[in-house]
Amino acid sequence: MEAESEFKEYYAKNMRGISGWFNRAYTIERWLYAAHRITGILIVLFVLAHFYSTGWHPGLWWDALLGIIVTFHTANGIRLILAELGFAVGKPLLIKKPSQRPVSIEGVQRYVVVFALVLFVVLAAIWAYYALIVQPMMG
């Protein structure tokens, strides 16, 4: 009986939960939001292991994956700092076009997104070079 009422409540409340993070109907910022949260959780998990033994690291390809996670979180974090401190979101409009697109998405912030993604690729490539080529050579 309790399960039935929970079942009913689930549909009546209509809350999306974590599945609500992933929706391809929206702009790229939505994907970056979800990816930022997931990479954040993964970094916390790694840091727990890192606290247990600071010398531990996952190894060759996993090191490169760790690099992707950390560099994405860093690059997107810079974008978020700029946006959330109000530097990249533009000013409120006095005159709107009939089908006005939001300035906070399609203004300066778009360039910051591109900058963050380029920074991510560059940092991840450097990290991967060290993890996959330099580190094994050094033994």
Partner 1 sequence: MASEEAKEYVLPPEVLEETVKASEELWKPVRKIKFRIYKYNPRKDYAPHWEEHELEVSRGMTVLDALLIIKGETDHSLGIRYSCRMGLCGSCAMMINGKQMLACQTRVLEAAGSGDVVELRPLDNFPVERDLAADFTSFFEKHRAVKPWIIRNDEVELNNPTGPYKQTVDEYARYYQFTDCIKCGACLSACPTAATDYEYLGPQALAQAYRYIVDTRDDGLDVRIPIVDTEHGCWRCHFAASCSDVCPRGVDPAQGIQLLKKLLIKRKFGLKPHKPAEALPAKVKAEKEG
Q: Is 138 in the site for partner 1 (CB under 8 A)?
A: no
Q: Is residue 112 within 8 Å of residue 83, measured between CB atoms?
A: yes
Phi, psi of 113 (to 5 degrees): -60, -45
Minimum distance of partner 1 from residue 127's CB (angstroms): 24
As a dihedral over the C-alpha atoms of residue 86, residue 90, residue 94, residue 99, rounded to 10 degrees, the angle is -120
Is 72 within 8 Å of 35 (Cβ atoms)? yes
| Binding of residue 93 to partner 1 (CB under 8 A) | yes
Contact (Cβ atoms closer than 8 angstroms) between residue 25 and residue 41: no
- Does position 17 interact with partner 1 (CB under 8 A)? The reply is yes
Nearer of residues 54 and 99 to partner 1, judged by Cβ: 99
* Residue 5 in the binding site for partner 1 (CB under 8 A): no
Per CB under 8 A, residues contacting partner 1 are 4, 7-8, 11-21, 23, 25-27, 29-30, 32-34, 36-37, 80, 83-86, 89-94, 96-97, 99-105, 109
